[in-house]
Amino acid sequence: MGNDEATLTPQPALAGTGPQTQRSKRKSLLASTVGNVMEWYEWSAYAVFAPFIAAAMFNSGDPVSALLSTLAVFAVGFLMRPLGGIVFGRIADRRGRKFVLVTTMLTMAAGSLVIGLMPTYASIGAWASLILLLCRVAQGFAHGGESATANTYVAEIAPNDRRGMWGSIVFVAIFGGSVIAYTVGGAVTSVLSESAVAQWGWRIPFLLGALLAVAALYLRRNMDESEVFEQHDSATDSAPMPRAKIVRGIVLVVAMTSGITAAHYTWTSYVSTYAITEQGMEAGAAYWATVAAQIIALATLPFWGRLSDQVGRRPLMIGFAVAMTILQIPLLGLIGSSGWTLLLASAIALMIVAIPGALLSATMSENFPTRVRTQAIGFAYSISVAVFGGTAPYLNQLLIGVGVGWMSSVYIMLLCVCTGVAVYLMPETKGIDLKDA
């Protein structure tokens, strides 16, 4: 990477920091964010309407359909997202970030359109199950590539001294897409009868997502390529690869992300179920409390990102690990049958989770060289999310079901300790120039 620094030649048109360049970068940030929100909305919409989709597309009495139903749940979460992160990450490091961001947006939109229009099991039998599975596989593949590339792209177009704040927008999109999906779900199920939702209403969020994706695609077509990527000298690709450093970075990012993603999925995807099934909370109260808590946490993300630009990534990351380790059990114990208990506990927990969430884009990008940045992030981040995040809701429910629910909190606490140790072993990187990485 010192060799990269010696061979790079500044490009006057791109290296400037005048108003036009900054305006162009902000437009690119907006384009990336809108598309990212839409992808997370389309991804979350499936979870919101999963019971209705399962009833329409699968039949437990049909062995083929039942098998495809199982694959639809597991293939996407545990295989396609990591695979997409690795494959699209490699493409992004060779053909550019913009190319991948447009491609993944097209794939997600096409999948939503097919899901919104496809015939049901009653019409074409197990073929409906297969088509749905293929759509989810394609979306999972694209989603893994989107996550890795968006984290890289936003970090690379951000000013060095504001990379934390700009990078926080990636996690804003995660919360924002989820909030929109649950809000649309609440609106559809409130306006339509349960039979209408089961017959055709569940298609609305997917058709809406496909329509809104057209606007997102227009914005992404006109955004700039990453300046860091364009100025990277391809001649340095023949230079020796610091493989030991990259492998160490991947291992540390996996460990760092483990506690973050386990806590995130627990407090966004599971605690409402816990409140309803274990504490007897009314479903509507649990639903809206979770949405409100996510909105509160979302509002804090730019603050945490900007603070990291001033004090560094490591102090805030370690602060998250300590706070979550101490508060996981008390916050879960706070949840009772009243909606305000879930709102208070979730809001506090998610504001803590928002600390590392805001810093992930900057921290991960600052720890890998340009020529392998996206594929390294795609591998490390996707694997960690699939192994520690995607399994968190199921593991929580399993341990509670066998009467050892306290172990789920201990599991999250141990992973947060792993996060703290990994961050302690990582260098402080705030403000570095990614072109020199």
8-31: average pLDDT: 59
Q: Can you give the pLDDT at residue 11?
A: 40
> Alpha-carbon distance 254 to 262, whole Å?
12
Chain segment 341-370, per-residue pLDDT in tens: 999 999 999 999 999 999 999 999 999 988
Percentage of residues of the chain with pLDDT beyond 90: 38
16-36: average pLDDT: 74
Q: Which residue has the higher pLDDT, 98 or 351?
A: 351
Per-residue pLDDT for 9 more than 50?
no
DSSP string, 278-295: HH---HHHHHHHHHHHHH
Q: Can you give the pLDDT at residue 235?
A: 45
Q: Can you give the pLDDT at residue 325?
A: 96
Q: Which residue has the higher pLDDT, 400 or 171?
A: 171
Q: Can you give the pLDDT at residue 91?
A: 93
SS3 232: coil
> Alpha-carbon distance 382 to 254, whole Å?
9
Per-residue pLDDT for 304 more than 80?
yes
98-118: average pLDDT: 90
pTM: 0.83
Q: How confident is the model at residue 16 (pLDDT cuts 50, 70, 90)?
A: very low
Q: Can you give the pLDDT at residue 302?
A: 95
Q: How confident is the model at residue 5 (pLDDT cuts 50, 70, 90)?
A: very low
How many other C-beta atoms lie within 10 A of the C-beta of residue 268? 25
Per-residue pLDDT for 108 more than 60?
yes
Q: Can you give the pLDDT at residue 19?
A: 45
Residue type, 51: P
Using an 8 Å Cβ cutoff, are 437 and 160 in contact? no
Q: Can you give the pLDDT at residue 241?
A: 64
Per-residue pLDDT for 215 more than 90?
no
Percentage of residues of the chain with pLDDT beyond 70: 90
Using an 8 Å Cβ cutoff, are 385 and 257 in contact? yes
252-262: average pLDDT: 95
Chain segment 130-174, per-residue pLDDT in tens: 898 888 889 889 988 998 999 999 999 999 999 999 999 999 998
Per-residue pLDDT for 266 more than 80?
yes
Using an 8 Å Cβ cutoff, are 272 and 288 in contact? no
Q: Can you give the pLDDT at residue 238?
A: 55
Q: Can you give the pLDDT at residue 8?
A: 35
Instruction: Pick from 93-97, 225-229, 361-365, 430-434 the range whose average pLDDT is largest.
Output: 361-365
Render the burial of 19-51: b for 16+ CB within 10 Å, e for the rest: eeeeebbeebbebbbbbbbbbbbbbbbbebbee
> Alpha-carbon distance 120 to 58, whole Å?
8
Secondary-structure class of domain 242-427 per CATH: mainly alpha
> Alpha-carbon distance 316 to 65, whole Å?
47
Chain segment 421-435, per-residue pLDDT in tens: 999 999 999 989 887
Per-residue pLDDT for 7 more than 50?
no
* Every domain of the chain and the residues it spans: 22-229, 242-427
Per-residue pLDDT for 197 more than 60?
yes
95-104: average pLDDT: 90
Q: Can you give the pLDDT at residue 54?
A: 80
Using an 8 Å Cβ cutoff, are 274 and 393 in contact? no
Q: Can you give the pLDDT at residue 299?
A: 94
| Within this chain, domains 22-229 and 242-427 share the same CATH topology | yes
Chain segment 109-142, per-residue pLDDT in tens: 899 999 999 998 889 988 988 898 888 889 889 9
Fold of 22-229: Growth Hormone; Chain: A; (1.20.1250)
Determine the longest span between alpha carbons in the chain, in angstroms: 66
- pLDDT, the chain, mean: 85
Q: Which residue has the higher pLDDT, 67 or 264?
A: 264
